[in-house]
Structures are given as C-alpha cells and as structure tokens.
Structure 1
Amino acid sequence: MDFFISDALAQSGEPAAGITGLIFPIALIVIFYFLLIRPQQKRAKEHKKLVSNLSKGDEILTTGGFVGRVTDVGDTYANLELAEGIEVRMQKSAVAQVLPKGAMKGSLEKAEAAAKDESGKGGKSK
C-alpha cells in the first residue's frame, strides 16, 4: 500500500493547507455572489416594483405570452382584457413587462392586415 501514500507525506505531521487552502473556496463564493446572486436579486427587485406600479389602462405582456390591457387591479390579482369582450383574471406576478401605450392596437392592426393578405392570396390561387 506504499504506492498510494508517499512515505515523506505520511511522516510529516504538518497540515498541507493553511490559509492558502481557504483562498479558493472564498474566491468561488465571491464569484458566485457577483455573477449569480446579485443580478438575480436586482431582477427580482425590479419585477416587484413593476408589479406594484401596475395600474388600470396599462398594456402588458404576461409570462404566458398574452398581450392585453389591465381593466382592474387588486392586491394579488388583476383583470386583463385580451380583446373586446374577452377578459381574464390573472396573478399580478405573471406580468413580464409593461408595453408602451398603443402597442396592443398596433399589433392587432398588423395581425389583421396579415390575415387579409393571406386570405386574398388563398382566394386567387384557387
């Protein structure tokens, strides 16, 4: 079994690592803090501010991909109008971002124009 442990190391009673052995784990903790923990805390703080500033009439994008206009805001829930006459109740924490005013109307006009173009092309080819 002598080939696993060198005799010189086995005879020595001194610890192999002193303060230099702690430098690497401490450096890893510092790197993780600045690269992972701190940015995540900053994003969470910004999202909390966004959700608390949510008000009636804001146009929002949800984490599920829905775009709509806020019609009512409660403590934990908000009503979202997806289209005229279609309203859903959702958790305020599901808001991904607040869109600029008029973004919902512009996107609907583009979608309707694209649908008309496609229906016109389909009718001509038949």
Structure 2
Amino acid sequence: MLDFLAAGAAGAAPPGWVQFLPIIGMVLIFWFLIIRPQMKRQKEHQAKIASVKKGDQVVTAGGVLGKVVRVDDDYAELEIAQGVRVKVVKSTIGDIVPVSGKPAND
C-alpha cells in the first residue's frame, strides 16, 4: 500500500519548468515597467540631441544655460554670456529650451 501512495505522490509533482515561471514573470514585469520605458526615453533624447542646431537655446545636464553657436558631430559650442563660449559634449545637453522674449535678469 505504501508503494501505491509513493507512486501517486511522484506522479502529481509538476514538471521542472513550472518552477521557472515566477522568475520569467518577474523578468517580463521588469522589462515592461523599467527597461522598455527607459529605452524609449533614451531614443527620444538621442533624437532631440541630433536635432540641435545653431541658434537653439539649450540647458546642459550640469544646469548651464546657453545659446548654440556651432555644432559638430560630437560637440556643441555654447555662448553662456556675451563673448563667453564653452565647448560641451552633445550628449550632455539635457533639453532644448524655448527662447523667451525677455532675458531672465531683466
């Protein structure tokens, strides 16, 4: 009789791959909630950086606000004050700021 119970218990065990379903589920949740939206934001940022042109007002990741004077493949030259120009890596440009009608210090 014990052999019959042991054989019944062994046959009722789920297959080995079923144990991996929770792990696969967690990976899918991370993919759709964290990784995929981050990749989308990164693509949008790269497209925005690629569209930077002379005359745009931009803010860098460090918080420096300036007007684009010259653009290369990897670098952009910003005028942060009258006669003061800095060269920055294009990937550090955080955002293109709409040009306002009046200066911030007036």
What TM-score results when the alignment is normalised by the length of structure 1?
A: 0.70
Among residues 61, 64, 67, which one is paired with 2:65 in the alignment? 67
> Structure 2 CA distance, aligned partners of 1:21 and 1:15?
14
TM superposition shift of 1:14: 6.5
Higher RCO (Cα < 8 Å, 6 or more apart): 2
2:103 corresponds to 1:106 = yes
> Structure 2 CA distance, aligned partners of 1:66 and 1:43?
22
The one-character-per-residue Cα deviations of 1:53-101 (angstroms, maximum 9, x if unpaired) are: 0000000010001000000000000000001011000000001000001
5+ residue gaps, structure 1: 1-11, 110-126
**Larger relative strand fraction:** 2
Q: Secondary structure at the match of 1:108?
A: coil
Structure 1 residue runs of 4 or more that deviate by more than 3 Å after TM superposition: 12-17
> Structure 1 CA distance, aligned partners of 2:38 and 2:12?
39
**Larger relative helix fraction:** 1
- RMSD in angstroms over aligned alpha carbons? 2.3
> Structure 2 CA distance, aligned partners of 1:47 and 1:29?
25
> Structure 2 CA distance, aligned partners of 1:15 and 1:62?
62
> Structure 2 CA distance, aligned partners of 1:108 and 1:61?
17
What TM-score results when the alignment is normalised by the length of structure 2?
A: 0.82
TM superposition shift of 1:16: 5.3
TM superposition shift of 1:23: 1.7
